[in-house]
Amino acid sequence: MTKQYLLGMAHDGTERHTTYRIATKSKAFAEFLQKGIRTFSIGAWIYKEGKLRNLWIVEFPKKILKNVIIQSRKNKIEYIRGYFDAEGGIAKKLSVRYYLYFCQKDKKDLLQVKTYLEDVGIICGNMHNPSKMVDPNYWRFYISAKSYTNFAKIIGSDHPEKVRYLRMKI
């Protein structure tokens, strides 16, 4: 795990005064994140939220992501992978057309991810709001079908569920 990956993941997290909290339904993924964070010699802890919910929280100090720079191609790829694992979507039903997308309420943030994707050779569709009536501040763009294989090979995923569906395109 890299700090760039973790910064991408943090987009799905809750920012508190001194920590980030990332929620996931996968205990294995929570453990993966915790182990990766600990490689930076900093603490990270996992706990289950609620007795009846299947939701795991990984919490870690914000200072780990202070001054993280994204400049190189490798940095961009790591950041995009983390962002995809947090905010990306993938078709899971075999009955629907395969698709990959990114969504976020922060349009500027999402445009940056789209630019990074294009910088590494991934073709993207237009940024759009799927329903202004439902949420005027929700933005999405799709990965072009021409780039599915490249996305799977170049960007990939560390999320156990998403990596399984990406493998279908390699």
Quick one: pLDDT at residue 107?
92
User: What is the identity of the amino acid at 116?
Assistant: Y
pLDDT band of 170, cuts 50, 70, 90: low
Domain count within the chain: 2
| pLDDT tens-digit readout, 118-144 | 999 999 999 999 888 888 889 999 999
Residue 127: both structure tokens together:
């940024």
My answer on whether 16 and 86 are in the same domain is: no
**Domain end among 16, 43, 65:** 65
Say whether pLDDT at 169 is over 70. no
Burial pattern 87-100, b for ≥16 Cβ within 10 A else e, equals bbebeeeeeeeeeb
pTM of the model: 0.91
My answer on whether 83 and 155 are in the same domain is: yes
